[in-house]
């Protein structure tokens, strides 16, 4: 059997799960269902299958450090391909397939979005094993989720006759877009329609052959972008300007919709029905459906008290949330935003995010607590000419050597020891000690210890934006 390579596509922004999911730290990087993040659960989903190779992750360049850290915490090695800009799933899979074939190998790729939930891992792995056997015969395989309601938030796949190669697989008749309610009810009654899972299994060569026939422009752009690849630590960077010219398209539209029963030199496509507790967690009502619930249908996370509620999802991130007499409602609290929505309207959360972006409000993109490769910072308070941050630096980590044109900084160490570079001076600052960084002075903060360094930073000046940073040296290759 060929090597089986998980290909994890991690380019989504998850705007319908705002305010937990933000553009700069989207839902796949969050632990929404269990203790692990959705990305971690996806990477580990195939553990235990024979012949499993190291995963390939394709992600947005802005998320690279978070993705690498989550992979490290799983104790796994893998290759992280960086997209300099989003071009949908077909170019992302093409980069992964070309990379997988670079040494002449032709592994079977299991292509999975990083932000889906599958509750029954054993059933999923059995289905992947069956799909891999078909993929080795040159077929392009996708999974269709057996529907249990007339869902209007998913696309559908119509299945055809049973495959002659495996009676558990069916010819792929057609893909259809998200239907209205009446159409979805008709699909459910017909019995031959499945939800489109967005999960695919095929050999790398199968995808590249089909793409060459269907969308050679995408293949050409991705091939050129990888020809100028550069290795940056754990990351593989493709040529930015070349990849930016690549057309944007999905796997379904670019290739799978054109395969059907094969012919004209194209691979044959089949669909395997799957019942494994799948959800794309595309909105808050979808998350509510997959979470454990009490007898009244309520699901909670964090410090939550409910009284007289039914079918309610309540999430608390930073403080007590109390709900009284609510039904079919979602309440989500973070340290800088609160969402209250009816289950039937959760798809419209994206409209709120669009309005926030139009108003240029950073709450659409950033959490108050911002993760960095060296640790994190939390914006505690701010005013017209000041800002207070709580900063945590991981053991052995260091911020860039930098300066600011418009602000000075006061640092107070709370826990651990800081090594401070200030101009030509280098010195240590320990617990309950502080130092001052004047405007325009080169400086660097490091943690030379074995415990996290926690400190309070007070910024003061005429402009306090994050873009007022001039970097001279940086361990993480940021400009």
Q: Burial code of 17-44, b = ≥16 C-beta within 10 A, e = fewer?
A: bbbbbbbbbbbbbbebbeeebbbbbbbb
Show the tokens assigned to 297. 């249908």
Greatest Cα-to-Cα distance within the chain, rounded to the nearest angstrom: 76
C-alpha separations of 292 from 67, 260, 287 in Å: 27, 38, 10
- Assess if residue 364 is contained within a domain: no
- Assess if residue 112 is contained within a domain: yes
pTM of the predicted structure, to 2 decimals: 0.91
Query: Does residue 385 sit in the same domain as residue 339?
Result: no
Query: Does residue 310 sit in the same domain as residue 161?
Result: no
- Assess if residue 52 is contained within a domain: yes
From 234, 262, 279, give the residue that closes a domain: 279
Exposure on the CB side of residue 337, measured as CA atoms within 13 A: 21
- Assess if residue 17 is contained within a domain: yes
Query: Does residue 66 sit in the same domain as residue 151?
Result: yes
User: Model confidence over 242-291: pLDDT tens digits?
Assistant: 999 999 999 999 999 888 655 677 889 999 999 999 999 999 999 999 99
Show the tokens assigned to 92. 């992302």
Please give the Cα distance from 420 to 309 (Å, whole number): 53
What sign does the dihedral 132-138-140-143 (CA atoms) show?
negative
Exposure on the CB side of residue 415, measured as CA atoms within 13 A: 11
The candidate with the shortest Cα–Cα distance to 248, out of 93, 134, 378, 431, is 93
Question: What residues contact 159, with CB distance under 8 A and at least 6 apart?
Answer: 144, 170, 171, 172, 173, 192, 193, 194, 271, 273
Query: Does residue 53 sit in the same domain as residue 187?
Result: yes
* Rg of the chain on CA atoms, in Å: 25
Query: Does residue 264 sit in the same domain as residue 412?
Result: no
Residues of the chain with pLDDT under 50: none
Query: Does residue 262 sit in the same domain as residue 292?
Result: no
Query: Does residue 397 sit in the same domain as residue 330?
Result: no
- Assess if residue 326 is contained within a domain: yes
CATH number for position 428: 2.60.120.10
At CA 39, angle to CA 37 and CA 45, rounded to 5? 100
At residue 223, φ and ψ (nearest 5 deg) are -65, -45
Query: Does residue 324 sit in the same domain as residue 385?
Result: no
Tell me what pLDDT residue 479 has: 65
Domain that holds residue 312: 287-356
From 249, 279, 309, give the residue that closes a domain: 279
CATH number for position 190: 3.90.550.10
Query: Does residue 451 sit in the same domain as residue 328?
Result: no
Note whether 376 and 370 are within 8 A (CB): yes
Query: Does residue 101 sit in the same domain as residue 149?
Result: yes
Tell me what pLDDT residue 450 has: 96
- Assess if residue 361 is contained within a domain: no
Note whether 236 and 81 are within 8 A (CB): yes
- Assess if residue 384 is contained within a domain: yes
Show the tokens assigned to 403. 């300066």
Please give the Cα distance from 181 to 367 (Å, whole number): 35
The count of structural domains within the chain is 3
Please give the Cα distance from 122 to 16 (Å, whole number): 29
From 299, 323, 356, give the residue that closes a domain: 356
- Assess if residue 33 is contained within a domain: yes
Query: Does residue 317 sit in the same domain as residue 407?
Result: no
Query: Does residue 262 sit in the same domain as residue 324?
Result: no
CB atoms within 10 A of CB 424: 7
Tell me what pLDDT residue 260 has: 67
Please give the Cα distance from 247 to 217 (Å, whole number): 7
């Amino acid at each position: 059997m060929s090597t089986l390579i998980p290909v994890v596509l991690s380019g989504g922004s998850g705007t319908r799960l705002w305010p937990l999911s933000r553009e700069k730290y989207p839902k796949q990087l969050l632990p929404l269902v269990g203790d692990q993040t959705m990305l971690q659960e996806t990477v580990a989903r195939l553990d235990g299958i024979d012949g499993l190779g190291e995963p390939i992750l394709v992600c947005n360049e802005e998320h690279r450090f978070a993705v690498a850290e989550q992979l490290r915490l799983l104790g796994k090695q893998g290759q992280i391909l960086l997209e300099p800009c989003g071009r949908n799933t077909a170019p992302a899979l093409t980069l992964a397939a070309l990379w997988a074939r670079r040494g002449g190998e032709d592994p079977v790729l299991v292509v999975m979005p990083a932000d889906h939930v599958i509750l029954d891992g054993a059933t999923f792995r059995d289905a992947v094993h069956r799909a891999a056997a078909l993929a080795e015969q040159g077929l392009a395989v996708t999974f269709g989720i057996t529907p249990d309601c007339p869902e209007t938030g998913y696309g559908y796949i119509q299945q055809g006759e049973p495959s002659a190669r495996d009676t558990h697989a069916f010819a792929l008749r057609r893909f259809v877009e998200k239907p209205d309610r009446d159409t979805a009810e008709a699909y459910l009654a017909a019995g031959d329609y499945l939800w489109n899972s967005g999960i695919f299994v095929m050999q790398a060569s199968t995808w590249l052959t089909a793409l060459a026939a269907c969308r050679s422009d995408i293949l050409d752009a991705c091939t050129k972008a990888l020809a100028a690849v550069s290795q940056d630590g754990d990351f593989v960077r493709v040529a930015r300007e070349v990849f930016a010219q690549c057309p944007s398209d999905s796997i379904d539209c670019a290739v799978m919709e054109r395969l059907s029963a094969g012919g004209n030199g194209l691979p044959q496509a089949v669909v395997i029905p799957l019942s494994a507790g799948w959800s794309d967690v595309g909105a808050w009502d979808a998350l509510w459906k997959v979470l454990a619930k009490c007898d009244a249908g309520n699901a909670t996370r964090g410090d939550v008290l409910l009284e007289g509620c039914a079918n309610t999802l309540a999430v608390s991130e930073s403080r007590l949330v109390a709900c009284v007499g609510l039904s079919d409602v979602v309440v989500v609290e973070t340290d800088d935003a609160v969402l209250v929505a009816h289950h039937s309207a959760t798809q419209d959360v994206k409209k709120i995010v669009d309005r926030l972006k139009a108003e240029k409000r950073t709450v659409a993109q950033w959490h108050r607590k911002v993760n960095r490769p060296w640790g994190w910072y939390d914006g505690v308070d701010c005013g017209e000419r000041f800002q207070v941050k709580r900063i945590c630096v991981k053991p052995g980590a260091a911020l860039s050597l930098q300066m600011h044109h418009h602000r000075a900084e006061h640092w107070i160490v709370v826990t651990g020891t800081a090594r401070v570079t200030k101009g030509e001076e280098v010195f240590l600052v320990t617990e309950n000690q502080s130092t001052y960084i004047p405007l325009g002075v080169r400086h660097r903060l490091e943690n030379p210890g074995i415990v996290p360094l926690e400190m309070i930073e007070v910024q003061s000046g005429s402009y306090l934006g994050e873009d007022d940073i001039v970097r001279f040296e940086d361990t993480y290759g940021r400009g």
